Amino acid sequence: MSLIPRRSFLSRLSLASAAVAAGGFTFPVQAGRDQFVEVEIAPGRLRGVRHEGVNIFRGIPYGGKVSGNRRFRRPGPVEPWAGVRSSVFGAPAMQPPRQNEPAPAEDCLFLNIWTPANDNRKRPVMFYNHGGGFVIGSGASQSQDGSNLARNFDVVVVQTNHRLGLFGFLYLDEIAGEEYAGSGNMGMLDIVAGLKWVHDNIAQFGGDPENVMIFGESGGGAKTSCLYAMPSAASYFNKASIESGPGVRMTPKEVAAETTAMLLRTLNIAPADWRKLLDIPAADLLAVQNRLPFVPPFIDKDNPKKKPTPGAGGFGPVVDGKVLPGHPFDPTAPSISKNKPLLVGWNEDEYNFFIWQRKEVDLLKMDFEGLKKKLEPFHGADTAKMIATYRKTMPDASAPDIFVAISSIAMMGLGSIDIAEKKANQHGAPVYLYNFGYKSEKKILDTDYPMGTPHAMDISFKFNNEVPPKDPSQPSESFFGGSRPERFIASHHFAELWTTFARTGKPAAADVPEWPAYNLEDRPTMRIDTRCEVIDNRFAEELAMWKSIGKV
């Protein structure tokens, strides 16, 4: 399905996400002007911060110990605390250090809440799964701060930290016994524990436990795809959004077992002595993880009959037949979520993110002969047909433009459309397909090539964090979104569509056309921008080409 091998793409994605995450974009709380608000939950009393009309509770423990004898197992219980617990971010999962956050730690099961008020009003709950593949990230970065969604759209936003990498996805079921059942999906089960906590407690934070939307971008989209197919999560949410991270297939348990064997060989541990893993310091295990292939071999699908290609390495959700009974959207959409509405889509210029992150600026200088040479190693005899199709549908495009268009739809678009088609085929709850298309004028590094709509730019837009500065005389520029004030309109559209979907199960916004559910006749797609529009059968010729060469 991909222009480049899926493993290579996810390596780029994880490393790129690491580059963004390492920047440490977090919102400081101006404590001098803030008030405090307190709430009682079972383990003890919490103190939150009321800041500009939003109650913020950070670092709430939703699970207990996952280190020591709890490593690779279900969490221990949350330990009660005396006094009042203050609102500070909890430790992120084991990963390289993150600026403006506590040091990463094994015991990382904390969540953050943004709510307009603790008043039992039963607002819709938007439960976000952070990106970063399955190896980095947390619920505390600036672009996904939930304050503006809570303040401007009257919703409750929740985000978790959860186990990542080998601490969350090392498959031990076949060698460690029943006590470690589900070990290959502990990171996902942590998120389920967070959802259960929300179900049990969110009413005290002004949220409705019976109206919960799960959503996530990039790796968070893949996590959301898994949750959509997991029986243990089913009773805790009733709608979902998968953004620039279509998790159609996950790691087969046979491949996960090979990865576990590779890790044990690297550590010179016999399978029968696997318990030695419990005694190795977490920092040492992280160092070993970084020497192995970075991400799991997500399964490409060149044609419907092709079997998954085996290969070890990387850590992510495992299709173990129990926690994750099957691939999330292969061969069909999961029946367990047939009656749950779904949003799915991608950004128009996803690949520009990777050009920026990897400094691949030479790609922006290629001519059409260079484009052919770039594509041929991956597509062979199909390359000429691919280029001809895109030159026809994009007659004014340069060779780099076409390369970005092909790469972007191959990485995120084909899987998103696959999910939409399979969901529509269920004839259950509706699915809505989108493209995000607001164009940032910012240039990629030292070039004249604009960012456009790169991977990850949608995060700050859908969280409504592209807003005018409080002081109009001050310049305003976002990390990817640029400085044009038109972006504030696009951000409001995006956020209103998502929060309305959270509230009602149907995305809608003022000054936006009615968004019809996806179907296999008209194939409507909402293009989100300063002016939103519904486009029927978008990319029809391109998709016909992809299908003709067996990529979908």
Q: Give Cα 117 distance to the centre of its chain.
A: 27
Alpha-carbon gap, residue 236 to 458, rounded angstroms: 26
Q: Which residue has the tokens 């040479």?
A: 373
Take residue 11 and report the two structure tokens written for it: 């390596």
123-129 and 239-243: which strand pairing? unpaired
Other C-beta atoms lying within 10 Å of the C-beta of residue 547? 12
Q: Give Cα 471 distance to the centre of its chain.
A: 33
- Per residue in 370-416, pLDDT (tens digit) is 999 999 998 999 999 999 999 999 999 999 999 999 999 999 999 99
pLDDT (average), residues 226-241: 98
Alpha-carbon gap, residue 384 to 372, rounded angstroms: 7
Alpha-carbon gap, residue 65 to 19, rounded angstroms: 29
- From the candidates 218, 232, 337, 416, which is the catalytic residue? 218
What percent of the chain shows pLDDT beyond 70?
A: 91
Domain ranges of the chain: 6-245, 345-548
Task: Report pLDDT for 311.
Answer: 60
Q: Which of 174, 170, 345 is nearest to 260 (CA)?
A: 170
What is the pTM assigned to this prediction? 0.93
Q: Write the class of the CATH domain 345-548.
A: alpha beta
- Per residue in 185-205, pLDDT (tens digit) is 999 999 999 999 999 999 999
Task: Report pLDDT for 33.
Answer: 66
Alpha-carbon gap, residue 112 to 118, rounded angstroms: 14
Q: Which residue has the tokens 């850590």?
A: 315
Q: Which of 106-115, 213-222, 346-355, 471-480 has the lowest mean pLDDT?
A: 471-480
Does the annotation mark 408 as catalytic?
Answer: no
What percent of the chain shows pLDDT beyond 90?
A: 85
Alpha-carbon gap, residue 465 to 449, rounded angstroms: 25
Q: How much is the CA Rg of the chain, to the nearest whole Å?
A: 23
- Per residue in 25-66, pLDDT (tens digit) is 223 334 456 799 999 999 999 999 999 999 999 999 999 999
Sequence length of the chain is: 552
What confidence tier does 308 reach under pLDDT thresholds 50, 70, 90?
Answer: very low
pLDDT (average), residues 166-180: 97
Assess whether the previous peptide bond of 331 is cis (omega < 30° from 0).
yes
- Residue 435: in which H helix or E strand, if any? strand 431-436
321: left (phi over 0), alpha (psi -120 to 50) or beta: left
Do 6-245 and 345-548 fold alike per CATH?
yes
Answer with the residue of higher pLDDT: 291 or 168.
168
| Per-residue CA distances from 142 to 64, 102, 222, 460 (Å) | 26, 15, 21, 8
Alpha-carbon gap, residue 156 to 114, rounded angstroms: 6
- Per residue in 408-430, pLDDT (tens digit) is 999 999 999 999 999 999 999 99
Q: Which of 65, 215, 194, 98 is nearest to 149 (CA)?
A: 215
Contact 16, 3 (CB under 8 A): no
Task: Report pLDDT for 280.
Answer: 98
Task: Report pLDDT for 294.
Answer: 67
6-245 homologous superfamily:
Alpha/Beta hydrolase fold, catalytic domain (3.40.50.1820)
211 φ/ψ angles, rounded to the nearest 5 degrees: -140, 80
